[in-house]
Amino acid sequence: ETGVTQSPTHLIKTRGQQVTLRCSSQSGHNTVSWYQQALGQGPQFIFQYYREEENGRGNFPPRFSGLQFPNYSSELNVNALELDDSALYLCASSLEPGRNTIYFGEGSWLTVV
Amino acid sequence: GQQVMQIPQYQHVQEGEDFTTYCNSSTTLSNIQWYKQRPGGHPVFLIQLVKSGEVKKQKRLTFQFGEAKKNSSLHITATQTTDVGTYFCAESGNQFYFGTGTSLTVIP
């Protein structure tokens, strides 16, 4: 158990819809990162939030957006879903940005049909 | 952006054989972390290497960081069926760049 929880665990959406995924970070961790992992691929960095501010972004279009709340939990929002957005979305928390170990949640499996 | 390559992509070994995965970068890495992801699971942190030439051991696992900090390796001695999974290296900075992963299958 990493103390990082994500919801929902599985969901199916239709192309063009919007989705919100949620993550509760490990207690005491102020940094949350989101990753997209397609089947058979490594996790791809989407963005990171540190103390409620975006602190880095990977090569993902603006329809991928996020939030971090005062309790350091986080949301990932994806608008105008495309079939290629089907993937495992992983949230990870860490004490601070940088070199600290990151702890992953179980992930949210998104299928876009 | 940063790209960390791993080889091989897949490896099948007989139980009891050794296994090695290599992680290579075209640029100097500030540090390297290794993760294991079981089928259907999420990545789990194994170890972090920071110093040039660093070697760390965890039971049957040996991790090395290259002298030039551009490569790293994970070696498993006498594999067991519990070692099955995909092993990722990752550079951690403000962002984490994960390698492409090596999927290990252990044949009983």
pLDDT by 10s per residue, chain A, length 113: 778 999 999 999 999 999 999 999 988 899 999 999 998 889 999 999 999 999 889 999 999 999 999 999 999 999 999 999 999 999 999 888 776 788 999 999 999 99
Mutate to test the interface with A, among B95, B98, B100, B103 (most CBs of A within 10 A): B95
Q: What is the C-alpha to C-alpha distance for residues B53 and A29, in angstroms, rounded to an integer?
A: 31
Q: From the CB of residue B94, how many other CB atoms can be counted at a distance below 10 Å?
A: 14
Q: In the prediction, which pLDDT does B91 show?
A: 86
Average pLDDT along chain B: 93
Distance, in Å, from the CA atom of B16 to the CA atom of A62, rounded to the nearest integer, reads 48
Mutate to test the interface with B, among A37, A48, A90 (most CBs of B within 10 A): A37
Give A66: exposed, middle or buried? Use CB within 10 Å, 0-12, 13-18, 19+.
Answer: buried
Where do the DSSP E strands lie in A1-113? 5-7, 10-13, 19-24, 31-37, 44-50, 53-57, 64-68, 74-78, 87-94, 103-104, 108-112
Question: B-chain residues within 8 Å CB-CB of A90?
Answer: 42-43
| Region B76-95 average pLDDT | 90
Which site among B30, B96, B97 would you substitute to test the A interface, given the most A Cβ atoms closer than 10 Å to its Cβ? B96
Rounded CA-CA distance B84/B75 in Å is: 14
Query: Per-residue pLDDT averaged across B40-47, rounded?
Result: 92
d(CA B97, CA B99): 7
Q: Tokens standing for B95? A: 């962002």
Closest to A55 (Cβ–Cβ): which among B30, B44, B94?
Answer: B94
Chain B 12-31, residues with CB within 8 Å of chain A CB atoms: 30-31
Q: Which residues of B touch A97 (CB under 8 A)?
A: 94
- For tokens 């290599």, the residue is B22
Residues 6+ apart with CB under 8 A from A85: A36, A78, A110, A112
Taking the C-alpha atoms of residue A19 and residue B38, their distance in angstroms, rounded to an integer, is 27
DSSP state at residue B70? S
B10 inside 8 A of chain A by CB: no
**Is the CB of A56 less than 8 angstroms away from the CB of B50?**
no
> What pLDDT does residue A97 have?
79
Nearest one of B45, B37, B42 to A99, comparing CA atoms? B45
Q: Among B95, B99, B100, whose Cβ lies nearest the Cβ of A58?
A: B95
pLDDT-above-90 percentage for chain B: 81
How many whole angstroms separate alpha carbon A102 and alpha carbon B17? 31
Quick one: pLDDT at residue A45? 92
Rounded CA separation B47/B70 (Å): 17
Interface touch A58/B33, C-beta < 8 Å? no
Is residue B1 pLDDT above 70, yes or no?
Answer: no
pLDDT confidence tier of residue B94, bands split at 50, 70 and 90: low
The residue in chain B having the minimum alpha-carbon distance to the alpha carbon of residue A91 is B42
pLDDT band at B2 (very low <50, low <70, confident <90, very high): low
Separation of alpha carbons A44 and B94, rounded Å = 14
